[in-house]
């Protein structure tokens, strides 16, 4: 495929609970193609998933559930206790996620692509692949409250996850566009609607239209 045929790609990121999924859903409803690396990771480790043979070979049958999917609690415990195991898991999954997300971006039949990557700011490779970076942002206390309501984790556990992610300031420092999601879902959607108009124009310009 020629370089000119590459679609315009907007990276979408934000801390846990900031509202990335809600934002991505709105972009999708407006007609953008959404490529979500979390979703790809789940598909790779679902029953019959492309990563499962390599994961079983590396870690044994104990990390495979009866249905052939990744036994997530077992893998999480292993990866948490053993840094080398976590790195081995990442060495299997990350290249597959990168390749599959790249393929989906290239094949997207939409004016532009939203590439949703939770740890985009932390990862050099994804930043090289995007034309623009959109960060969903809200105060940390709001993130904690939303994740607690969604998941049943306690505040301490949510804060521990947030501590392993880039800081709010680090994300905002590299953002081209910021979606303030401290308000209502309707306000979030109105902001996405406005960004969508801009991304359509940028994508058209990039194509030379
Ligand atoms: P992320 O994908 O960044 O982890 P989500 O989009 O899943 O975040 O949002 C986290 C939780 O907060 C979800 O349960 C979602 O429905 C809820 N949520 C998102 N945006 C808002 C908002 N503006 N007001 C209230 N709840 C929201």
User: What is the rounded distance in angstroms from the CA atom of residue 169 to the CA atom of residue 106?
Assistant: 31
35 strand-pairing partners: 115
Q: Torsion over CA of 202, 138, 40 and 72, rounded to 10 degrees?
A: 170
Return the pLDDT at 3.
Answer: 46
- Residues belonging to the chain: 209
- Output the average pLDDT for the chain: 94
Residue with CA at minimum distance from ligand 1 atom 4: 17
Q: Tell me the mean pLDDT in the region 174-189.
A: 98
Q: Which atom of ligand 1 is nearest to the CA of 184?
A: 23
pLDDT digits (tens, 9 = 90+) for 112-138: 999 999 999 998 788 889 999 999 999
Q: What is the pTM of this model?
A: 0.93
7 lines ligand 1 (CB under 6 A): no
Residue with CA at minimum distance from ligand 1 atom 21: 185
**pLDDT beyond 70 at 158:** yes
Would you place residue 1 in the very low, low, confident or very high pLDDT band (cuts 50, 70, 90)?
A: very low
105 lines ligand 1 (CB under 6 A): no
Q: Tell me the mean pLDDT in the region 21-41.
A: 98
């Amino acid at each position: 495929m020629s370089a000119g045929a590459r679609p315009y790609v907007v990276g979408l990121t934000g801390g846990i609970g900031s509202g990335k999924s809600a934002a991505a859903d709105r972009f999708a409803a407006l007609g953008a193609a959404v490529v979500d690396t979390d979703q790809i990771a789940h598909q790779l480790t679902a029953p019959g998933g492309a990563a499962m043979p390599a994961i079983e070979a590396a870690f044994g049958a104990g990390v495979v559930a009866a249905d052939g999917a990744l036994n997530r609690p077992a893998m999480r415990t292993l990866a948490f206790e053993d840094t080398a195991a976590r790195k081995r898991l990442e060495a299997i999954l990350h290249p597959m996620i990168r390749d599959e997300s790249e393929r989906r971006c290239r094949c997207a039949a939409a004016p532009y692509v939203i590439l949703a990557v939770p740890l985009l700011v932390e990862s050099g490779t994804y930043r090289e692949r995007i034309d623009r970076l959109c960060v969903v942002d809200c105060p940390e206390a709001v993130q904690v409250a939303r994740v607690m309501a969604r998941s049943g984790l306690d505040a301490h556990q949510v804060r521990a996850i947030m501590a392993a992610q880039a800081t709010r300031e680090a994300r905002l420092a590299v953002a081209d566009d910021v979606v303030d999601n401290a308000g209502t879902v309707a306000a979030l959607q109105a902001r996405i609607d406005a960004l969508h108009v801009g991304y359509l124009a940028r994508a058209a310009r990039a194509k030379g239209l």
